[in-house]
Amino acid sequence: MKKLVILGGGFGGLTVFHHMAKLRHEQQMEITLIDERETFLVKPSLPEVSLGEKTVGDITFPLRKVVESYGTFIRNRVERIDPVKQTVFLEDGVAISYDFLVIALGAKKNFGEIPGFVDYGYSMCTDVLAPRLSQAIEAFEKGNVVIGSMPMKQGTRIPEVPFLKAACEGPIGEVAFMIESELRKSGKRDDSRVICFSPAHIFFEDVGDKVHEAFGNLAEKHQVEVVTDKILSKVEKDHVEFEDGSVIESALTIIIPAYYGPDAIVNSGLGDEAGFAPTNEQFQHLDYSNIYAIGDGAARTVPKLGHLAVEQGDIVASHLKKILTGQGEVLPYDPEIFCIMNMGNHKATLIRSNTLYGGQRDVAYYGAVSSLMKKSFDDYMLRFKGKMPPDMLERLLNVYLGRLE
Ligand SMILES: Cc1cc2nc3c(=O)[nH]c(=O)nc-3n(C[C@H](O)[C@H](O)[C@H](O)COP(=O)(O)OP(=O)(O)OC[C@H]3O[C@@H](n4cnc5c(N)ncnc54)[C@H](O)[C@@H]3O)c2cc1C
C-alpha cells in the first residue's frame, strides 16, 4: 500500500487530504497528515478577530477529528525531510517514511527581525497577535494608524514566477478600512489618520489598473492614505522609521512581516535562496518528483494567497490520482488573484484579477453582496471542515462575476 504523507493541515494540505480521502474506494492508500497545531485556522477571518467581531474559537475547528475520519493525524513539529531516504523527521525524534510527500507548511513570518516590533508593533497575522491587536484598537483614542508590510524575499529558481515586493497586501487594505469604519462609528475618526504603506512602487502591485482605480476611489472617499516605496526599518512607541530616512508619527503600528520558506524546507536543503520550495506547474519539487510543495511555502505561489494554495491542492490531487489510478486528467495551473476584502460596515470588495500572469481579467466589486459572499465562504469552510464549495457553486459564481467584467 502506498504511503502519502501531508505536512501541514492548512488551506493547501487539507485540500489535498479531502481529495485523496475521496479516492480511497479506487486506490488503497495510507494517508498521514502532520501538523503542529490541533486546529485549522481560517486565516482570512483574522481581520474580524483583530476588530473584535469574532473570537479565535469562531474561526477554528479541530483537525484531528477531520483527518481521523480517514487517515492518521500526528500532532508534532516537522523538523526535516530526507528526500533520498523518503523520510520525515519530527521534533520528538520519530521518523515517518513516505512514497509521496506533500509539503504544505505555509510560510515562516519573521516578526523578530523588525526592530521595535515586539515592544510597539501589532499584527493581524496570527491567532495570538490578532486578539492583541483587537485590544489595542479598542483602547485607541487618537493619532495615526500606520499599517503596511515588510518586503518579501523570493528565490530565482523559477524565473517565470512574477516578482513582488509584498507577499500579500489584501489584509492591509482590509484592516485599514475596517479600522476606518470603526473609528467613524466610535466618533474618533476626526482625531485620527489611517495610513497604509507599501514596500512596492504601487499598493496592490499584484492586480491591474481597473482594481487600482476602484481601490483608489474608495481610499479617497474614506480618506485612507497610501504611501509607497516605503521599507520599514524601525517601529518606535510614537512613530515608524523607513529606510529612506522618512518618519511617520504612529499611535498604532500594524505590520505584515517578511515571509520566508519554512524551517523544515530549509533544514532539508529543499528550498531556494529564500527558503521556498521550487516546483514545476504540477507542483512537483524540481529535484524530487515524489515531493510536492504547495501554498505559501512554495516558490510558485505568488502572491501568498489561500485561493492559490487551494487551486494547487486540487492540481496535486489530480496528479496523484493520475499516477495511482491512471484515471482523470491533471488540472492545469491557471492562477488568478481572488480575494474578498472586508471593508467594515457590512461592505466588502471582491477582487479578481489575472493581469499579473498575463491575463485580461481585472475586476473589483464593492458592496454588500461581496460582504455576504465573504461571510458565506468563511462559514462554509468552518461548517464543511476546510472543504471548498462544490464546483456547481463555483460555476454559478463565475457566471455572476463574468457579468461584472
Ligand atoms: C490576516 C490574513 C488574511 C488573509 N486573507 C486571505 C484572503 O482573504 N483570501 C486568501 O485567499 N488568502 C488570504 N490569506 C492568505 C492565506 O491565509 C494563506 O495564503 C494560506 O493560509 C496558505 O495556505 P497554506 O496551506 O500554504 O498554509 P497555512 O494555511 O498557513 O497552513 C500551514 C499549516 O502548516 C502547519 N505547520 C507549519 N510549520 C509546521 C511544522 N514545522 N510542523 C508541523 N506543522 C507545521 C501550520 O500549523 C498550519 O496548520 C490571508 C492571510 C492572513 C495572514
Can you give the residue range of the structural domain that contains 98? 2-41+61-108+260-334
* Distance from residue 13's CA to the centre of ligand 1 (Å): 10
Structure confidence by residue, pLDDT tens digits, 173-220 = 999 999 999 999 999 999 999 999 999 999 999 999 999 999 999 999
Structure confidence by residue, pLDDT tens digits, 19-51 = 999 887 777 789 999 999 999 999 999 999 999
119 in any annotated domain: no
Task: Evaluate if pTM is beyond 0.85.
Answer: yes
Are the beta carbons of 346 and 24 closer than 8 angstroms?
A: no
* Distance from residue 84's CA to the centre of ligand 1 (Å): 27
| Residue 397 pLDDT > 90 | no
168 in any annotated domain: no
pLDDT at residue 248, as a whole number: 98
Q: Is the CB of 352 under 6 A from ligand 1?
A: no
305 in any annotated domain: yes
179 in any annotated domain: no
The residue nearest atom 6 of ligand 1, judged by CA position, is 44
56 in any annotated domain: no
User: Cα(180)–Cα(171) distance, rounded to whole angstroms?
Assistant: 14
Nearest to 397 by CA among 360, 379, 370: 370
Domain total of the chain: 1
Q: Is 105 helix (H, G, I), strand (E, B) or coil?
A: coil
Q: Is the CB of 292 under 6 A from ligand 1?
A: no
pLDDT at residue 399, as a whole number: 67
CA dihedral 198, 200, 203, 207 (to 10 degrees): -140
268 in any annotated domain: yes
b/e 210-228 (16+ beta carbons within 10 angstroms → b): bbbebbeebbeebebebee
Give me the helices (H) in 223-346, please.
Answer: 263-267, 306-325
395 in any annotated domain: no
129 in any annotated domain: no
User: Cα(166)–Cα(148) distance, rounded to whole angstroms?
Assistant: 9
DSSP run (H or E) holding 170: helix 170-185
| β-bridge partners, 308 | none
Structure confidence by residue, pLDDT tens digits, 67-123 = 999 899 999 999 999 999 999 999 999 999 999 999 999 999 999 999 999 999 999
The residue nearest atom 44 of ligand 1, judged by CA position, is 35
Q: Which CATH number covers residue 285?
A: 3.50.50.60
Structure confidence by residue, pLDDT tens digits, 111-157 = 999 999 999 999 999 999 999 999 999 999 999 999 999 999 999 99
The number of beta carbons lying within 10 Å of the beta carbon of residue 404 is: 10
Residues 6+ apart with CB under 8 A from 391: none
* Distance from residue 199's CA to the centre of ligand 1 (Å): 22
Nearest to 132 by CA among 142, 122, 144: 122
Q: Which among 48, 179, 305 is the best mutation to test ligand 1's pocket, defined by most ligand atoms within 8 Å of the CB?
A: 305
